[in-house]
Amino acid sequence: MRRKLAAGNWKMNGLLGDLAQLDQLAKAPLPPQIDTLICPPATLIHPAIAQTRGSALAIGAQDCHAQSAGAFTGDISALQLRDLGASAAILGHSERREGHGESDQLVAAKAHAAQAAGLCAIICLGETLAQRQAGDTLQVIGAQFAGSVPATLDPALLVLAYEPVWAIGSGLIPTLPQIAEVHSALRTALEARFGAEAAHTVRLLYGGSVKPDNAAEVFGVADVDGALVGGASLNAQDFSAIVQALAAA
Ligand code: PEP
């Protein structure tokens, strides 16, 4: 049985004063049957870990470099993140694929680096609106999977997040059958990649405009093992409501 996962992505939001949101989250009784993770900006990872120590709230990163050390000005390695106590890294988010030109190959290399450092690699995949309207969604997701999720990854430290680009931050979400179709295709792809047994340990998150008022219906979809939440994770009350909906699903 896969443990469900509610993961928050703060993106480039949050100052030290905003860590109070974590206090609220960590002090509320987090449901023990699911995993809860917040990925703040890199500047807040260390204080966030210090602040939530002893709670069930895990802290992760939003990216990592593919190398463990070296002359890469401004970058942060998976080893450095692990050294701080981070437990996961979001990789291949569409904002990095688009805004930083990250290729599937680079995402795969980062995933290897993350896992080598002991981090769970949360690899994001998703189609644009034009690709969905052209009927290419499964083909696009299949190609991203083929390039970003090599068989050499460890399925025990792997999470996939289906994040339609057009649903991120827009208030729009796919229909429930559309989510089900992509998650089922991803499960099948995982089976082909890692074998049935290992494939069934990998959690599949849905991400894109998950809010307290739509979380329960999304979590009712087959093969949805949780959510990657952007905007709604910035507010402890909203994120808590999503966490509770996941625990009840
Ligand atoms: C995201 O950026 O990963 C995301 C899902 O954002 P939002 O929830 O704001 O759509």
Question: Per-residue confidence at 69, pLDDT binned at 50, 70, 90?
Answer: very high
Per-residue pLDDT, 76: 98
Rounded Cα distance between 133 and 148, Å, is 23
What percentage of the chain reaches a pLDDT higher than 90? 96
4-14+32-67+74-127+137-180+202-248 topology per CATH: TIM Barrel (3.20.20)
Which atom number of ligand 1 is nearest to the Cα of residue 163?
Answer: 5
Report how far ligand 1's centroid is from the alpha carbon of 70 (Å).
31
Rounded Cα distance between 52 and 243, Å, is 17
Report how far ligand 1's centroid is from the alpha carbon of 96 (Å).
13
Dump pLDDT digits (tens) for 173-208: 999 999 999 999 999 999 999 999 999 999 999 999
Name the residue of 10, 210, 242 to mutate for ligand 1: max ligand atoms within 8 A of Cβ.
Answer: 210
Cβ–Cβ under 8 Å, residues 120 and 88: yes
Dump pLDDT digits (tens) for 86-138: 999 999 999 999 999 999 999 999 999 999 999 999 999 999 999 999 999 99
Per-residue pLDDT, 26: 80
Q: Please tell me whether residue 58 adopts helix, strand or coil conformation.
A: strand
Question: Per-residue confidence at 170, pLDDT binned at 50, 70, 90?
Answer: very high
Which residues are within 8 A (CB) of 181 and not within 5 positions of it... i.e. 6 or more apart? 137, 138
Per-residue pLDDT, 1: 76
- Examine the residue annotation and report whether 93 is marked as an active-site residue of this protein: yes
Cβ–Cβ under 8 Å, residues 76 and 39: no
Global pTM reads 0.97
pLDDT, mean of residues 36-46: 97
Report how far ligand 1's centroid is from the alpha carbon of 167 (Å).
8
- Examine the residue annotation and report whether 46 is marked as an active-site residue of this protein: no
